[in-house]
């Protein structure tokens, strides 16, 4: 049995292989068979003493079940430690009951993962009213890695762009990305009426006149927030608007609408595979795993 290995599901095999290369350990595929009734059969082989399961949890409902089956299979076959690297960690936005009767999904999913993994690492999880994943995953080692260094390095500094966070929730990301090169930053305020209806206000938007703008957020989902922000910026005289995000969950029709709104470039990290995933995060993840010594034999 090997000391450590990275196990990736079919749709995340490329990201798992990049992480394995960075760490100098084998990459292995989790084999999944789906029966006609919707159940999944999961197989992992050969095992490893320290097994790192790599899977982003976009479209999480089906993926979560298969993830837990894989974790169980690894432990049943001799893994002493099973670590989850979830570059995109779903169900983190619902961190309180906003209306009577709602489930607090962040707490539920946190408890579920903490029961099956010895450590959990995520890239820029959507945490706002808690300080760290350890608050919802008791007894488990956790790590939150910021994609800001990789996103900052992806910017064209020579154009001196104005960075804009569309709402207060984006402030921490836009300021962290802007800081190394001391780019100017604006942060808007958002009121969401529904999943696809938003109203924005950007204080100081007149500074956009004649400038190249980079819209920055942690997640692009439907793209409506980015579209609303682009309209305000173009109305204020922006010469060009592009979008940069840690995670892009948008469908192709969402991306088409963003481009039609004048957003000339849409880029994200490779936490979620797709046409915008052009900024790799394997080096950041590998560095955090090494720093914490998670692959050392226990």
Give pLDDT tens digits for 252-271: 999 999 999 999 999 999 99
Residues 120 and 154 in one domain: no
Same domain (yes/no): 53, 25:
yes
- Which position has the token pair 């919707």? 38
Residue 297 maps to a domain? no
What is the distance between the alpha carbons of residues 243 and 102, in angstroms, rounded to a whole number?
32
Residue 298 within any structural domain of the chain: no
pLDDT of residue 79: 95
- Mean pLDDT across 10-17: 96
Return left, alpha or beta for 78; rule: phi > 0 is left, psi -120 to 50 is alpha, else beta. Answer: left
What's the chain's average pLDDT? Answer: 92
CB 119 within 8 A of CB 142: yes
Residues shown for the chain: 298
**Average pLDDT of span 191-207:** 75
Indicate if 132 and 192 belong to the same structural domain. Answer: no
pLDDT at 178 over 90: no
Torsional class of 268: left (φ above 0), alpha (ψ -120 to 50), beta (otherwise): beta
Q: What is the number of structural domains in the chain?
A: 2
Give the integer Cα–Cα distance in Å for 76 and 71.
9
Q: CA separation (Å) from 291 to 176, 285, 288?
A: 21, 10, 5
b (16+ CB within 10 A) / e for 168-188: ebbebbbbbbbeeeebebbbb
> Which residues on adjacent β-strands are paired with residue 201?
189
Q: Are residues 179 and 139 in the same domain?
A: no
Which one of the listed residues 63, 75, 190, 297 is annotated catalytic?
A: 190
Question: How much is the pLDDT for 192?
Answer: 62
Same domain, 167 and 274: yes
Residues 117 and 207 in one domain: no
pLDDT digits (tens, 9 = 90+) for 44-100: 988 899 999 999 999 999 899 999 999 999 999 999 999 999 999 999 887 777 888
Nearest one of 86, 84, 26, 82 to 50, comparing CA atoms: 82
pLDDT at 298 over 70: no
Spell out the SS3 assignment of the chain: CEEEEEEECHHHHHHHHHHHHHHCCCEEECEEEECCCCCEEEECCCCEEEEEEECCCCCHHHHHHHHHHHHHHHHHCCCCEEEEEECCCCCCCCCCCCCCCCCCHHHHHHHHHHCCCCEEEEECCCCCCCCCHHHCCCCCEEEEECCHHHHHHCCCHHHCCEEEECCHHHHHHHHHHHHHHCCEEEEEEEEEEECCEEEEEECCHHHHCCCEEEEEEEEECCCHHHHHHHHHHHHCCCCEEEEEEEEECCCHHHHHHHHHCCEEEEEEECCCCCCCEEECCHHHHHHHHHHHCCCCCC
109-127 pLDDT, tens digit each: 999 999 999 999 999 998 8
**What are the structure tokens assigned to 78, written together?**
């001799």
In a domain, 273, yes or no: yes
Whether residues 114 and 161 share a domain: the answer is: no
75 flagged as catalytic: no
How far is the C-alpha of 19 from the C-alpha of 186, rounded, in Å? 34
Which domain, by its residues, includes 8?
2-146+281-292
Give the best-scoring range by mean pLDDT among 57-71, 166-180, 189-203: 57-71
pTM: 0.92
Q: Pairing between strand 240-248 and 212-220?
A: parallel
Region of 208 on the Ramachandran plot (φ > 0 left; ψ -120 to 50 alpha; else beta): alpha
CATH value at residue 120: 3.40.50.2020
């Amino acid at each position: 049995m090997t000391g450590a290995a990275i196990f990736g599901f079919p749709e995340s095999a490329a990201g798992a292989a990049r992480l394995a290369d960075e760490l100098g350990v084998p990459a292995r595929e989790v084999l999944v068979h789906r029966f006609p009734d919707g159940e999944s059969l999961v197989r992992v082989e050969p095992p490893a003493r320290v097994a790192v399961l790599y899977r982003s949890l976009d479209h999480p409902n089906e993926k979560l079940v298969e993830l837990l089956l894989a974790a169980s299979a690894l432990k049943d076959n001799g893994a002493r430690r099973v670590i989850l690297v979830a570059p995109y960690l779903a169900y983190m936005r619902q961190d309180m009951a906003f209306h009577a009767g709602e489930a607090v999904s962040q707490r539920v999913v946190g408890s579920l993962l903490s029961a099956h993994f010895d450590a959990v690492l995520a890239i820029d999880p959507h945490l706002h009213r808690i300080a760290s994943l350890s608050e919802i995953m008791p007894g488990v080692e956790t790590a939150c890695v910021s994609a800001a260094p990789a996103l900052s390095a992806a910017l064209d500094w020579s154009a001196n762009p104005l960075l804009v966070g569309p709402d207060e929730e984006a402030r921490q990301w836009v300021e962290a990305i802007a800081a190394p090169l001391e780019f100017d930053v604006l942060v808007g305020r958002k009121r969401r009426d529904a999943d696809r209806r938003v109203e924005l206000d950007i204080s100081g938007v007149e500074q956009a006149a004649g400038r190249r703008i980079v819209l920055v957020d942690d997640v692009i989902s439907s793209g409506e927030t980015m579209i609303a922000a682009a309209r305000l910026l173009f109305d204020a005289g922006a010469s060009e608007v592009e979008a940069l995000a840690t995670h892009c969950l948008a469908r192709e029709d969402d991306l088409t609408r963003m481009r039609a709104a004048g957003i000339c470039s849409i880029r994200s990290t490779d936490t979620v595979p797709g046409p915008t995933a052009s900024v790799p995060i394997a080096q950041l993840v590998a560095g955090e795993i090494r720093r914490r010594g998670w692959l050392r034999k226990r």
